Amino acid sequence: MGEADSQAVTREAAVEATNRHYDLPPDLFKTFLDRRMKYTCGLYERGDESLDEAQEAKMCFIAESLALRGGERILDIGCGWGGLCHFLAERYGCTVVGVTPSRVQIRHARDDAERRGLTGRCEFHCGSVYDPDLPGRRFDGVALVGVIEHMPDHRAALTAATRALRTGGRLYLSASCFRNRGMFEEYGTRPASRHVTDTVFGFGVLRPLSELLDAAESAGLSLSTIADLTPHYLRTIDEWSARVAARREEIDAMRPGMAEELLRYFETANVGWGRTTKHYAFTGIRARMGEAVVGL
């Protein structure tokens, strides 16, 4: 989707459109995602990891990016089916609040938290990043993992996310991006891109990283790290693609035509990586001076 189009879509219309995808039965997504149902890029550090291992490595990378030591309060905006929230509560003893506008995802995340004995440490709210009741100045860390692409007003989203952090708290964001503004304008509205952003996800916009960084700076973050995860997403999507191809009939029985829709999305994504598109992660600190340095 191009810039002019994305600005014409209201926040509410975008949420309604993406909910049509995320409210599909969790069993459908289980056919191709890892066991924690992470709907994002994994991390293949060695190269021979399984999808489960790659997604676990990615969650550890997020925890390191947020400088977690244990027991922190974390807000996961666009938490999907709650995989990262459960992981951080289990592995790092964090208290986690997950937010997503999909009621189906919320139900799944709560049920899974209960099954894992995490009810006291994981809370899930059905809502949007723009909700005025998003708690302010409360969190040590905020995560936005593959979510900003669904938000027509990325500046307001980053301002709200930053406001939720205590002073010195960290924000982790990862997103799929066009390589630069020229590619965004040239390729964003092509039929293959539209298939991914509009047909599959309902609403999506892959802004260049420079625009996300500008919004993060304007929101009051001091930027501390940037990582290029592009090859890791290519590999993740190869895995998803093989799984969908192997379980095509099962998927189509749940939603006719869905297997082909997904395979076309995966093919477009993997042709684009590194040429027209990138997948980046960055971290920012809500602090005037950025990282605190002992003695200074």
Ligand X SMILES: C[S@@+](CC[C@H](N)C(=O)[O-])C[C@H]1O[C@@H](n2cnc3c(N)ncnc32)[C@H](O)[C@@H]1O
Number of helices (H) and strands (E), helices first, in the chain? Answer: 13, 7
Q: Which of the stretches 76-84, 159-167, 223-231, 269-277 binds ligand X when contact is defined by CB under 6 A?
A: 76-84
The residue from 99, 164, 171, 196 that contacts ligand X (CB under 6 A) is 99
3-state SS class at 91: helix
147 binds ligand X (CB under 6 A): yes
The residue from 29, 32, 39, 61 that contacts ligand X (CB under 6 A) is 39
32 binds ligand X (CB under 6 A): no
73 binds ligand X (CB under 6 A): no
Q: Closest CB to ligand X among 40 and 276?
A: 40
* Shortest separation between residue 98's beta carbon and ligand X, angstroms: 9
77 binds ligand X (CB under 6 A): yes
Long-range contacts of 110-114 (CB under 8 A, 24+ apart): 110/82, 112/81, 112/82, 112/86, 113/82, 113/85, 113/86, 113/89
The residue from 15, 85, 183, 229 that contacts ligand X (CB under 6 A) is 15
236 binds ligand X (CB under 6 A): no
Q: Exposed e or buried b for every residue in 208-240, given b needs 16+ CB within 10 A? A: bbebbbebbeebbbbebeeeebbebbbbbbebb
Burial of 167 (0-12, 13-18, 19+ CB in 10 A): exposed
Q: Are 209 and 176 in contact (CB under 8 A)?
A: no
The residue from 6, 31, 102, 193 that contacts ligand X (CB under 6 A) is 102
Q: Which of the stretches 37-45, 208-216, 220-228, 267-275 binds ligand X when contact is defined by CB under 6 A?
A: 37-45
